[in-house]
Amino acid sequence: MEKTLIYKDKNQTKFLLSNGLTQVIYQKGFNPPTSVTYAAFWHPYELRHYLRGYAAFSPISYIKLGNKIKSLGLCIEGKEDSWHLKGLLPAIAENIPMNSKPFQDVGDKRTVKQIYQTRENLLKRLKENYQEYLN
């Protein structure tokens, strides 16, 4: 698997892996060095509870969704107007795989399709849950 160096100092080395995951190797305080691999969050803070479990239990799927969202011009670092939930929620509903299991972190093993049946129902629920951020 190919790696691209993101950051390095005497304490840690951070790589972006070819599958989109981030790997951090901690040198200081660990003998031997310890490695942690994770999906770096791409979503806004408001969606932290909704997408945290998805990122933890389905990291590759989470990364693919993030890449699709970014290709639509949303959630771009430094582009402030790309982070509004008004455009992001429909993009998530339209692009999340219907067979993904976003709530495994709370013990719910059902897929998006089993929970919401349709993308329209998913979008409706997202808008209900995040109504305070949409105005």
CB crowding 100-128: b at 16 or more within 10 Å, else e? bbbbeeeeeeeebeeebeebeebbeebbe
Q: Are residues 34 and 59 in the same domain?
A: no
The whole-number pLDDT of residue 122 equals 97
25 and 86 belong to one structural domain: no
Q: What is the pLDDT of residue 31?
A: 87
Output the pLDDT for position 16: 94
Q: How many distinct structural domains can be found in the chain?
A: 2
**pTM for the complete prediction?**
0.86
Domain identity same for 83 and 53:
yes
Which domain, by its residues, includes 58? 45-134
61 lies in the same domain as 21: no
Closest CA relative to residue 26, chosen from 41, 40, 9: 9
- 61 in the same domain as 30: no
Task: Check whether residue 96 and residue 71 sit in a common domain.
Answer: yes
Q: What is residue 131's DSSP assignment?
A: H
Q: What is the spatial distance between Cα 82 and Cα 76, in angstroms, rounded to a whole number? A: 6
Question: What is the three-class DSSP state of 43?
Answer: coil
pLDDT tens for the 135 residues of the chain, in order: 799 999 999 999 999 999 999 999 999 888 899 999 999 999 999 999 999 999 999 999 999 999 999 999 999 999 988 999 999 999 999 999 999 999 999 999 999 999 999 999 999 999 999 999 886
- Euclidean distance between CA atoms 86 and 114, whole angstroms: 25
